[in-house]
Each structure stands twice: as structure tokens, then as C-alpha cells.
């Protein structure tokens, strides 16, 4: 087993700069060593330059010299360091990668950062520590301690150590991003004892996951496994999604239908806010009163859920059972709590402690909805879902279960998104806020007309950019869960992994959004002036779903995207037209696997009557 060379570079896209060079060519004759050295230097540099930050490669070296393993290791706010290790065919891959990782670590710790950053031409940095490491790795068995750490490199996607679990809770987005930079775009992660394969910011890999048919990657089985078969019930897991997709496709998303639906929804949102304020302030409320609410997120959620039930199903539901609103919200929150608990408990415990009790609550809620659906709504009050239940003769039992699924998918994310957009807007310059308020007044006036809703939403450019940018910055950390029914080979320019049958896969939706190569150097900032948000011809997202990943991609891409973007924009307009002011805005929180929320309540004041 021969270790021939280890070279460290400051990685550059066009031509990487050599920093440290170690070689062991004594097995070659003196006369051959000179040309061989040049050959190794030339090809190693080429391989290093072609190994993008965060990636590893193994490449057969020119003229059958052996294998070259390269690893490009980026550092936040600093250069990427690439190590190339040239070995013969017998030298174990994991030992070669362990040498690369350790040499990079030593370079970072022992060579001043300024020296590395200033390196524009090849240097011959003398590092006794790296030379000693190189000597030690001449005997791979000697390096055993390190090789154990890297053992997973030989076994498919690398495993992120359990410590990510702790950090994940505090900063899931940062944790995933960091792992990506360290080990590549596809890796195993150990979350609360559950292993899953995470696909990060790699559009090609995401595409290969997103486009798989259910026979290979099953969304149903993945959500059933995390407990949704009990929490939302088998009707929702196995049939509800298809039903909702059909209603959205046929009754909501077509241009003319959306144009007709949006003004009705906007008016329902305004009425919902009036009702909420009226209920909170009681008698004696005048139109110039100011409402102080302890949490904008909660208030907005109630408004959006009320409008969703009234317009998409029927106003008769809440009319006949006003407390249904709170019951549905509480149910959804409990489902989220139970999902989090079930993730850390063995099934034997999670079944009696959280899954069965929630299944019982769901059945009770479904019973309540079934009784409400049984009382026929007058024709004028039938929304697209009620019409579809009736025209497709969906049994009441299923319809009631489907409504629970609809509410689950359709109200909380748009509500969080609208409230978050307001939080972000209120952190911007006064001028931007004034522009948004002026747009809000115009938008709401247009929503009083029969036509032009979509055009009015597009014309309210500040509001729209604010919603889109909020979707980008607050996207889910791990979404798009899939169960591998069969082994899946993912092959991209930079990764080649086999995901075994039985594994769970998740796509890290917000990794792409913080990737500076995709969204520029200020990828993590909230910016309205992104060229991507330039005016578009319709109200769906203006960029490709592999770039704005919040609504997922491929087979299971959110069919409610267009409608949700419109709802968030309209809700924001209503809040601005009522001069909503935020008293205190806590830090953003990614703790729950939905759109990011805030670490605590966001108190808000607003006028009861819209500004003139």
C-alpha cells in the first residue's frame, strides 16, 4: 500500500493555488522522480480545481499511477482548502479521506489565516505537523484511530455524527448547511435516534428524488411511518391528497376560477378580522377603536382558517358551530406536538401515549364535521370542496376526514407566512412601508371588483416581493419525506450514492436558500431587491422550484402554491390597511418543521376601520 503524495491547495474555480506539498517517491528511480513530480503536481491541481467546495471525489490518476482522492473543505468567511491524496489501488479510500480531512484541519489550525487568504501564487508552506501526519499515514493501520471516524465514507452517504441532533434543535438550517459543507450534498443524519438521508442544495439530486414514482419513493408510506396514519387518519394519508389535488387543479387554479375566488376570499378575510376584533373588544366598540392583540400570528391564523372554511367549504359550518374554529386549530397543534413526541419514542410507547389518543380526538372531530356536513348548505354558500364532495358523491364519513386534511394543509402555513411577511416588512425603511401601505389600499379596492384580482396582486410589487422573500427565508428545514420502496441510485456531477431500500429521505428545503452560489453573497439576508422577484406573468412563484424550494418539487409539489401566495398577499394588505403595528418581534424560530415562526408571541395593534 503506497501513499505517494498529499497536496493542499487554496481552492479557486479557475486554478487552485498550491500551499503545502508532501511526497514519497523513493520507490521510483532517481531519474524518474523529476518528471513524475511534475506529472503529479499538474494532475492533482486539475482534480483539486474540479472538486467544488463541500465535495469529495475519487479519480483514477493519469497513466495508472493510482487513485487520487480529493476533498474541498469550505470555511465560513474564508477560503476553501482542497486536499488531494494520491495512493496506489490497495490503499483504503477511507484512510485517504481521513488523511485529507486531518491535513486540512492542521493547516487551518497552524497556518495564519492571512497567509492562506493572501496566497495568489503557489507557496511551499513548511508544516512539520503535516509532514509528520503524511509520514504516519504511510502505514494505514497506524492511522486506525482516524479511520474509524470516517468509516461511513465507504458505506454510502456519510453519517453526520449524533452531535448534530443537539445543534439541530437550536439551528436546524445552520446545522444542515454546515454538514453539507463538510461532507457533501447528500448525507445521513441521525435525528432523535432516527436515521434519514438528507438531500441538500443540489438541484440535480433534488430532481432525482422529486421525480421518482411512488413505486420507488413513497410519500404516503413516509408520512404514515411518522404517525400520520393515526394522527390524520388513513383516509387522509392514502386518499385525501389526491382528492385535494384534483379540486385545486379543476376548481381553484384555472385562471378564470381563481379570478372569481380571490375577491370573495379577500372579503372573507376582512370580515374574519372584523369578527375577531368584535369578539375580543365586545360592545361599545367604535370604528376608530384600536385593537391590541397579544399575538399577530394567532390572530392571522384565526382569520385565514375562518376564510378557508367559509369560502372553500361553506359559511354554514362556523355559522352553526362557532367553536369549530378553535377546535380545528387546537387539533392541528396537538398533531404537531404528537409528531415531535412520536419521533423520539419507540412505537410501543408512542402508540398509547400520543398516537392512539390523537386518533380518538380526530375521530371525534370528524364526527362533528360529519354532522355539520349532513345539514345541506344553501346553493350560494357552497365552496369548491363542498361542491366536489357532492358532485363526486363522497361519503360523509370520508368528506369529514378530508376536511381535517384540507385544513391541515391549507391554513397554518399561509397564516405563518402572512404574519412573518408583516414582521419582515416592519423591519424595513419607512419609505418601503409607505409604498406597501399604498399598494394595500389599491389592492383591496381592486378586490372589491369582479375582475382584475390577479393583475392587482402582480401590480402590488412590494407586497408580493415581501411574501416571496418571506417564503424563501423561512422555508421548512426538512420536508418532502419519502420512504425508499426500492434502492435508489442518485448520480449527479458531484455525488454518487445509493440509498438503500427502507431508508427515509428528506429534502432540506432551505439549504438552497442559504446557498450563496444559488442566491448570491447575501443569500441569508431578507432582501426585496432580488432580480428574481422581477414582475412575472402570473401569480405563481417566478422562479424554478429547485431554486425557491418552499413549495417542494416534482410529483408532490404543493398544488396550493398560487392560491397560498395570493392569500398571504391579501392578508398582508388587510393588516397594512388597518395600520397594524408590531409592539415587539422576537427572533425567528425554526424549531417546528413548518415555515419558521417566532420564538414567542408578537403583540400587534390595529385599527378596526381600514385607512382611507
410 binds ligand HEM (CB under 6 A): yes
CB of 120 to ligand HEM, least distance (A): 44
Q: Closest CB to ligand HEM among 219 and 444?
A: 219
Give the angle 297-302-305 at the CA atoms, nearest 5°: 120
**Secondary element (H or E) of residue 486:** none
DSSP character for 16?
P
d(CA 521, CA 501): 38
Among 40, 219, 262, 342, binds ligand HEM (CB under 6 A): 219
Q: Closest CB to ligand HEM among 123 and 499?
A: 499
Cell reading at 74: 469550505
266 class by beta-carbon count within 10 Å (0-12 exposed, 13-18 middle, 19+ buried): buried
- Report 302-321 residues binding ligand HEM (CB under 6 A): none
Q: Closest CB to ligand HEM among 44 and 514?
A: 514
276 in Cβ contact with 329 (< 8 Å): no
CB of 565 to ligand HEM, least distance (A): 8
480 binds ligand HEM (CB under 6 A): yes
Q: Closest CB to ligand HEM among 65 and 418?
A: 418
CB of 151 to ligand HEM, least distance (A): 32
552 binds ligand HEM (CB under 6 A): yes
Phi, psi of 34 (to 5 degrees): -55, -60
Binding mask 431-470 for ligand HEM (x = CB under 6 A): ----------------------------------------
Among 595, 602, 606, 610, binds ligand HEM (CB under 6 A): 595
Q: Closest CB to ligand HEM among 562 and 578?
A: 562
The beta strands (E) that lie in 429-495 are given as 478-484, 488-491
Among 52, 140, 479, 545, binds ligand HEM (CB under 6 A): 479
> Which residue of this chain has its Cβ atom nearest to ligand HEM in the complex?
560
Among 335, 564, 566, 593, binds ligand HEM (CB under 6 A): 564
Q: Closest CB to ligand HEM among 125 and 518?
A: 518
User: Of the listed pieces 67-75, 130-138, 241-249, 328-336, which binds ligand HEM according to CB under 6 A?
Assistant: 241-249
The sign one gets for the Cα dihedral 314, 318, 324, 329 is positive
Q: Closest CB to ligand HEM among 20 and 186?
A: 186
58 in Cβ contact with 67 (< 8 Å): yes
Q: At what angle do helices 561-577 and 255-281 cross, to 10 degrees?
A: 40
Cell reading at 487: 434502492
334 in Cβ contact with 358 (< 8 Å): yes
The sign one gets for the Cα dihedral 358, 361, 367, 369 is negative
CB of 90 to ligand HEM, least distance (A): 44
d(CA 527, CA 525): 6
Q: Closest CB to ligand HEM among 233 and 559?
A: 559
Q: Closest CB to ligand HEM among 221 and 530?
A: 221
Distance between first and last Cα of the chain: 81
Cell reading at 493: 456531477
Cell reading at 105: 484541519
User: Of the listed pieces 111-119, 167-175, 341-349, 412-420, which binds ligand HEM according to CB under 6 A?
Assistant: 412-420
Residues in the interface with ligand HEM (CB under 6 A) total: 22
3-class secondary-structure state, position 117:
helix
Q: Which single residue is written with the C-alpha cell 376536511?
A: 403
511 binds ligand HEM (CB under 6 A): no
CB of 382 to ligand HEM, least distance (A): 16
Q: Closest CB to ligand HEM among 68 and 566?
A: 566
Q: Closest CB to ligand HEM among 384 and 452?
A: 384
Long-range contacts: 167-172, Cβ < 8 Å, 24+?
169/591, 171/590, 172/477, 172/478, 172/590, 172/591
- Of the candidates 87, 79, 2, the one whose C-alpha atom is nearest the C-alpha of residue 44 is 87
433 class by beta-carbon count within 10 Å (0-12 exposed, 13-18 middle, 19+ buried): middle
414 binds ligand HEM (CB under 6 A): yes
Q: Closest CB to ligand HEM among 53 and 384?
A: 384
CB of 241 to ligand HEM, least distance (A): 4
User: Of the listed pieces 89-97, 184-192, 448-456, 546-554, which binds ligand HEM according to CB under 6 A?
Assistant: 546-554
CA atoms within 13 A of residue 127's CA, in its CB half-sphere = 27
Among 7, 19, 318, 409, binds ligand HEM (CB under 6 A): 409
d(CA 286, CA 289): 5
Cell reading at 277: 376584533
For residue 504, list its beta bridge partners.
483
Q: Closest CB to ligand HEM among 97 and 402?
A: 402
- Report 337-366 residues binding ligand HEM (CB under 6 A): none
Q: Closest CB to ligand HEM among 183 and 467?
A: 467
Distances in Å between the Cα of 474 and the Cα atoms of 53, 416, 549, 602 are: 25, 10, 11, 16
CB of 205 to ligand HEM, least distance (A): 15
587 in Cβ contact with 417 (< 8 Å): no
383 binds ligand HEM (CB under 6 A): no
550 binds ligand HEM (CB under 6 A): yes
Among 43, 45, 73, 244, binds ligand HEM (CB under 6 A): 244
563 binds ligand HEM (CB under 6 A): yes
245 binds ligand HEM (CB under 6 A): yes
CB of 101 to ligand HEM, least distance (A): 33
d(CA 532, CA 515): 15
Among 184, 417, 542, 545, binds ligand HEM (CB under 6 A): 417
92 in Cβ contact with 141 (< 8 Å): no
Q: Closest CB to ligand HEM among 181 and 248?
A: 248
Where does this chain bind ligand HEM (CB under 6 A)?
A: 219, 241, 244-245, 248, 409-410, 413-414, 417, 479-480, 550-552, 556, 558-560, 563-564, 595
Amino acid at each position: 500500500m503506497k501513499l505517494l503524495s498529499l497536496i493542499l491547495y487554496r481552492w479557486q474555480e479557475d486554478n487552485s493555488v498550491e500551499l503545502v506539498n508532501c511526497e514519497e517517491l523513493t520507490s521510483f528511480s532517481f531519474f524518474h522522480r523529476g518528471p513524475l513530480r511534475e506529472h503529479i503536481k499538474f494532475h492533482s491541481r486539475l482534480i483539486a480545481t474540479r472538486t467544488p467546495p463541500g465535495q469529495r471525489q475519487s479519480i483514477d490518476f493519469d497513466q495508472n499511477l493510482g487513485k487520487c482522492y480529493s476533498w474541498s473543505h469550505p470555511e465560513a468567511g474564508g477560503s476553501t482548502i482542497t486536499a488531494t491524496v494520491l495512493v496506489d489501488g490497495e490503499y483504503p479510500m477511507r484512510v485517504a479521506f481521513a488523511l485529507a480531512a486531518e491535513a486540512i484541519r492542521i493547516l487551518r489550525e497552524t497556518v495564519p489565516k492571512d497567509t492562506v487568504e493572501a496566497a495568489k501564487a503557489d507557496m511551499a508552506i513548511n508544516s512539520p505537523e503535516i509532514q509528520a501526519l503524511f509520514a504516519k499515514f504511510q502505514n494505514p493501520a497506524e492511522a486506525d484511530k482516524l479511520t474509524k471516524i470516517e468509516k461511513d465514507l465507504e458505506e454510502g452517504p456519510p453519517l453526520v455524527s449524533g452531535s448534530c441532533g443537539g445543534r439541530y434543535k437550536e439551528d436546524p438550517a445552520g446545522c444542515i448547511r454546515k454538514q453539507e459543507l463538510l461532507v457533501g450534498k447528500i448525507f445521513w443524519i441521525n435525528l432523535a435516534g432516527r436515521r434519514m438521508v438528507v438531500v441538500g442544495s443540489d438541484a440535480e439530486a433534488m430532481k432525482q428524488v422529486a421525480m421518482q414514482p411512488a413505486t420507488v419513493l413513497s410519500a404516503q408510506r413516509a408520512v404514515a411511518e411518522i404517525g400520520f396514519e393515526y394522527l390524520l387518519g388513513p383516509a387522509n394519508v392514502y386518499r385525501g391528497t389526491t382528492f385535494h389535488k384534483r379540486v385545486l387543479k379543476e376548481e381553484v387554479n384555472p385562471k378564470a376560477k381563481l379570478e372569481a375566488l380571490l375577491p370573495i376570499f379577500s372579503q372573507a378575510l376582512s370580515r374574519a378580522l372584523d369578527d375577531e376584533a368584535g369578539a375580543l373588544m365586545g360592545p361599545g366598540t367604535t370604528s376608530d377603536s384600536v385593537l391590541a392583540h397579544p399575538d399577530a400570528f394567532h390572530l392571522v391564523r384565526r382569520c385565514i382558517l375562518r376564510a378557508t372554511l367559509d369560502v372553500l367549504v361553506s359559511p354554514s359550518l362556523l355559522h352553526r358551530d362557532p367553536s369549530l374554529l378553535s377546535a380545528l386549530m387546537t387539533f392541528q397543534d396537538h398533531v404537531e406536538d404528537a409528531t415531535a413526541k412520536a419521533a423520539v419514542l419507540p412505537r410501543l410507547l408512542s402508540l398509547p401515549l400520543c398516537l392512539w389518543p390523537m386518533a380518538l380526538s380526530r375521530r371525534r372531530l370528524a364526527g362533528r364535521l360529519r354532522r355539520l356536513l349532513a345539514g345541506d348548505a344553501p346553493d350560494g354558500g357552497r365552496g369548491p370542496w363542498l361542491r366536489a364532495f357532492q358532485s363526486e358523491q363522497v361519503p360523509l364519513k370520508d368528506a369529514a376526514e378530508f376536511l381535517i386534511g384540507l385544513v391541515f394543509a391549507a391554513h397554518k402555513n399561509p397564516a405563518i407566512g402572512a404574519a412573518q411577511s408583516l414582521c419582515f416588512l416592519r423591519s424595513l425603511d419607512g419609505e418601503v412601508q409607505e409604498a406597501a401601505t399604498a399598494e394595500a389600499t389599491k389592492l383591496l379596492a381592486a378586490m372589491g371588483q369582479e375582475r382584475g384580482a390577479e393583475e392587482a396582486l402582480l401590480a402590488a410589487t412590494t407586497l408580493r416581493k415581501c411574501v416571496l422573500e418571506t417564503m424563501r427565508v423561512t422555508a421548512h428545514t426538512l420536508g418532502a419525506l419519502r420512504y425508499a420502496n426500492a434502492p435508489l441510485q442518485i448520480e449527479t456531477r458531484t455525488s454518487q450514492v445509493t440509498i438503500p431500500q427502507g431508508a427515509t429521505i428528506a429534502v432540506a428545503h432551505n439549504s438552497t436558500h442559504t446557498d450563496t452560489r444559488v442566491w448570491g453573497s447575501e443569500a441569508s439576508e431578507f432582501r426585496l431587491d432580488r432580480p428574481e422577484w422581477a414582475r412575472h406573468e402570473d401569480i405563481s412563484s417566478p422562479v424554478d422550484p429547485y431554486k425557491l424550494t418552499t413549495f417542494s418539487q416534482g410529483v408532490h409539489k404543493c398544488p396550493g402554491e398560487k392560491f397560498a401566495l395570493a392569500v398571504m398577499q391579501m392578508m398582508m394588505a388587510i393588516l397594512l390597511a388597518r395600520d397594524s403595528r408590531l409592539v415587539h418581534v422576537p427572533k425567528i424560530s425554526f424549531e417546528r418543521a413548518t415555515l419558521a415562526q417566532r420564538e414567542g408571541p408578537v403583540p400587534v395593534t390595529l385599527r378596526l376601520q381600514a385607512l382611507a
